[in-house]
Amino acid sequence: MTNKFKAGSLALLSPEERAAMRLKSLESKRLAKEQREANAHLYKTEWADSTYWKELSTKHSLRMPNELTAPTLTRMRKACNKLKVVPSEWLEDCGLTKLQQWLDLNPKHTLYAFCGNILEWKDSKKPLLV
């Protein structure tokens, strides 16, 4: 019988190595949470459309990001890919040409708000039944 795991997989690690990896993972998660909370004053966190965005995220099977997650171009592209949205189409409707312009115009918006805006746009673009 052949080993179905690649070298370096968790199945080949010793219990001590697994424990060390688990501790490292927990520490990085703790640091990320601390960083989000430390930068919370930089972002707007309360949105009138928040409940609507949560409904839309359920409808479109998207797990919304943490409300304090900073938007980056990479995270924004990933969100668009998950929703099967071509960023250039959304940007065109917004009157923009690049995601960086959206970031520059909305410095207090989080990735949560970006995803909410994309969800609203996607939901408004659904085809009408005749």
Alpha-carbon torsion 49, 55, 57, 63, what sign? positive
Domain-wise residue ranges, the chain: 13-40, 44-124
The more confident residue out of 10 and 98 is: 98
Whole-structure pTM value: 0.71
CA distance 79 to 57: 11
pLDDT digits (tens, 9 = 90+) for 65-117: 988 888 999 999 999 999 899 999 999 998 999 999 999 999 889 999 999 99
Give the C-alpha distances (Å, rounded to integers) separating 29 from 10, 32, 34, 62, 127.
Answer: 19, 5, 9, 21, 41
pLDDT digits (tens, 9 = 90+) for 48-65: 999 999 999 999 898 999
